[in-house]
Structures are given as structure tokens and as C-alpha cells.
Amino acid sequence: MSPPRLIFHCDCNNFFASCECLERPELRLVPMAVAGDTESRRGVVVAKNELAKRRGVQTTDTVWQAKKKCPELVFVPPQHELYERVSKQINKIYLSYTDRVEPASIDESYLDLTGTLSYYGMTAEALADSIRARVRLEVGVTISVGVSFNKTFAKMGSDYKKPDATTVVTEENYKALLWPLPVENMLFIGTAAAEKLKKKDVFTIGDLAALPRERVVKLLGKGGVSVWRASNGMDDAPVRRFADRTEVKSVSRGMTFKRNLIALNEVKQAVAALAGEVAVQLREEKLKGRVIQVQIKTPLLTVYSRQLTLPFATCTQQEIETHALNLIRKNWHVGANAPIRALTVGVTGLVAASEATEQISFLDMFEADVQNSGTGALSRGYRSYAERERREKLEAAVDAIRRRHGENAIIRGNTGNPEIGLAGAWKKKEKGRKEEKASQPQTAWENPPVDESEPAPQCSRSEYSKAEES
């Protein structure tokens, strides 16, 4: 007989703020928040410590709103490299207990510890407490742990009591513990779904669980089956092994043209087509990226590359295309003296799309800086995170139409030019295809080879001093 499932959900408390306190311990003593662009009214709080929370500061508060609530609030800018490094340290601790560790985002992971209690000689709650203590001692941040027999209730358990707490949800107590909670506390139930349910007198998770399954499906659509099963403790989703993750480092598309490109309009068409392919794969993989890359290969087969780091993660063709084209125009004098034989557009610095969304509107956070540098989404006319989100949904809708009706169902007018090898809409690449970085040796654009028959391109570094380079 198989042992009963034992699932932990480990969630870091105030993760970004906690990481900042590791580097600056003095921040533990004052109300502090992680936010961008503190000089702008549009800067947004993405994390805060407990002292700030007690003063009423909330995630998504604008900087001025948070400052009004807590005048002595200390702001610090986000450090994504730091957060990623700390996240890896914490997951390393989890992996010392089990190989079934499934990160759900940068600050939370599921652990499957089924059959391990006899080995450790302690209760599930005691084991969770020991993991919390190790993370606090070895890393310096606190976590909350939900312990249950499935992933859904483990997640709800970690949310039940914070910070630095353990909550055990069993087959015997989940009805008493979770069913009285408001229906919007149920995993997978958003604001709109909750309002729809409340109109039908479904106010608690218990009310939802008590409905016939067919009734829930009628109210919530096909996804209602999963919600109904989860509310009744029937979630049987496995926890994947950490080693089984398919970690995509980058997404890129390249093309060798039928003839050399010397006209800016042709370069624009090529960039649009390549950016579109990259954006589609990012959305298929449920990823977003912060680093836009371009590679140019000359007729002499010399490869030049440049990249730009954005203050936000993106998966839209419009943004990728804009930034890639800006990289080329500012660093490559398109013309007969600088022909382009092949071109690659790529995105790195990838994060899960859900994680990027959870980290709040980086556009709003950094809007002033982005506007000043001319490198951000505002260059496309976006005024807010909501507008960027609408653009993502629009492009996702186009993806769905093409999947159903074929790649030629919707074709952008500037992506087709048979003369250079762009035959209208690009054929869809195999889903999940992962391209490695180009293997050719790369030459810095600042030091191109000298060849009298093929004048080297000129770089305009002064124009592009604000871009992050590698």
C-alpha cells in the first residue's frame, strides 16, 4: 500500500524586501519598500517589510500613496540578480530533502515528501518547522509552509498564516479550516469568477464545494471541473522533479537572406518577421524576457552582436521589434557599405510569465527612466501596465486564430517580401523548439575587421550610452 501523499508549499515572506535586508541589515529596523522611480508619481511598490505593512503600505501602492501612509518609508530599487541568487540558495536547501521540488515562482516551491517521515523520525509539522528554521538560519529569510495531501491545499495552507508559520491541512480538518473562507480565497478563483458565484449565493469555499459539479461547470466553464475537484480535496496533480524542468535560457530566430540587405525598409521587414516568431514561442512557453538581442552576419561571415536590458519583461512582438530595430539603427549604418547577410533577433533574461505578472507593473515602476532613455514600452505609446497587458492579450488572441485557422489567417503587412526570403507569414516552428546561441565567433562592434573591399560598419556608441551592453 502506497503511503499517503505529503506535499509542502514553501512561500518566502516579503521576498524582495527580505533579500534587500540581507545586503543592508539596517533596513530591518525601519519601514521599507522595494519600488522603482521614486521621483515619479507612477512608481509602484512591489514589496514591503513587516514594519511598512503594519503602517498600511500595500503592494501596488504608488510611491506617493505609500509615502502618505508612512512618511518615513525608505525606498530601495529592485535587484533582480540578487533575488534570483537567493532563490537558488533556498531551493538548494529544499533539494536536500527531496528531488521532487517544483518552483512555482521565484519565491515559492512545492515539495513532495511522501514516505519520508519515518526517515526523519518526526511529524510533518515538525519537519516543516525544521525546514523553516534552516532557511532562516542559512539564508536569512523567513518562509511560511503549508502541509497537506495535495498541492492546492498546501498552497492555501502557506497563505493561511504568515509570516514564518506552518499550517497543516489534513483530510480530517480541511472542511473546518478552509471551507468557511470567502470563495475568492479559493485557488484559481479570480475577482470576476468570485462575483459571478456570489450572485448565485456562493459566498464561501464550502458553498462552492457543496454545489453539483455540473452546476460549477455551468457557472465557470470547463475550468470549473478543476476548481470543484480542488475545493473537495481531489487535486491529484504531481510535484515535478527539479531536474525535469525544461529551463529555456533564450529564444531566438535567425535567417540568411536571399540577397544582402542594404535598405532600411527591408531590415524593418526582417526584424518584424523574426520578432513575431520569437514572441509566439515566448507565449507558447509561457515566458517573458528582459534582454533583447540582435546579431548581424556580414557577407564576410563576421558576426556582430548587441543587446539591451529592459526594466520590464515582455513577450510581445511590438516591443521586441521596436527595441531590436533601435539596436540596429543606433549601432549599424544600414546601406551599401554595410550589407547584412543574415540577421538574428533573440530574447534572454527569461522568467515565467506568471512570475513577471506577479512582480507588478515594471513599466509603471520605471516609467520615468524608460521615457527618458527612449528604450521602453512608452516608445510604442503605452501609457500604463494595463495597455501593455491589453497588447499581450491581443497578440495571444492572434496566436489562437492562427492555431485554429492556419498561419496565413492573419498576416502583418510589413513581414512579407519574397525577394529577400520573407514569404508572407512565417511557417510555425515546432512547439517548444529551443535555439542555442549562435556558435560563430563574435566580434565586438567597436572593433570590426578592416577590409578595403568591404568597409566596416560604424558604431554610434555615444548615441547609445544608456543601453546596457555585454
Active site residues: 108
Type and span of the H or E element at 303: strand 303-314
Residue/partner pairs of 333-339 with CB below 8 Å, 24 or more apart: 333/457, 333/458, 334/261, 334/262, 334/263, 334/264, 334/267, 335/262, 336/262, 337/455, 337/457, 338/262, 338/298, 338/455, 338/456, 338/457, 338/458, 339/260, 339/261, 339/262, 339/298, 339/299
Given a contact cutoff of 8 angstroms between Cβ atoms, the answer to whether 382 and 391 are in contact is yes
Of 300, 352, 298, 347, give the one whose Cα is nearest residue 327.
347
What are φ and ψ of residue 229, in 5° steps? -60, -45
Measured between alpha carbons, how far is 311 from 197 in angstroms, rounded to an integer?
A: 38
Q: Which residue from 305, 284, 285 is spatially nearest to 295, judged by alpha carbons?
A: 305
By CB atoms closer than 10 A (0-12, 13-18, 19+), residue 206 is middle
Buried b (16+ CB within 10 A) or exposed e, 110-119: bbbbbebbee
**CA atoms of 327 and 337, how far apart (whole Å):** 18
Residue 311 preceded by cis peptide, ω within 30:
no
The alpha carbon torsion through 186, 187, 191, 194 (nearest 10 deg) reads -40
Specify burial of residue 217 (Cβ count, 10 A radius: 0-12, 13-18, 19+).
middle
